[in-house]
A = this chain, B = another copy of it.
Amino acid sequence: MATESERIHRYLEDKLDECRVEDVETRLSELDMLQSTARSERVESDLAVLSTLGNETRYRLARVLADADGELCVCELNAVVDVSESAISHALSDLREAGLVNRRKNGRWRNYEATPVASAVIDALDEVHHDE
């Protein structure tokens, strides 16, 4: 990456005026360390969590379950989201695979509840926006 380090070299030179002296190698390794703090299993699971919640059907299901006081039956979730039963089932299955909900069998009913991961992400979004 000759061209890339050259560009960073020029950038750091420019920055000298307003900042301290740095060495390109040092900077590159700093950046590499920053990047590698994200362990790859964590990246994978975070991406699953985020992309799974980033769909309206799944987001609404997760939010209702997180706000609900305990578990809800699929039949109740049907009343909450306006897509086919099949779509809800697919959505719940995706949420489960991402570790965002747990399922409990109860005869022919199935009850779902939000996991702490789902609650944590939703709470974080609520809190950071609470002043709006």
Interface residues of A, Cβ cutoff 8 Å to B? 1, 4, 7-8, 11, 14, 27-28, 31-32, 34-35, 37-38, 42-43, 45-47, 49-56, 59-60, 63-64, 67-68, 72-73, 75-76, 78-81, 107, 109, 116-117, 120-121, 123-125, 127-129
Contact = CB atoms under 8 A, between A and B. Distances in A.
B124 A80 contact: no
Contact of A121 (B8, B31, B116, B125): B125
Report the copy number of this chain in the oligomer.
2
Contacts of A64: 31, 34-35
Given A67-B34, A128-B120, A54 B51 contact: yes
Contact of A116 (B72, B116, B128): B128
23 contacts: A1-B79, A7-B75, A11-B109, A14-B109, A28-B79, A31-B72, A32-B79, A35-B60, A35-B80, A35-B81, A38-B63, A43-B56, A46-B59, A46-B125, A47-B54, A47-B55, A50-B51, A50-B53, A51-B51, A52-B54, A116-B128, A117-B125, A117-B129
Contacts of A46: 59, 125
A7 B52 CA distance: 28
A80 B46 CA distance: 18
Contacts of A37: 63, 67
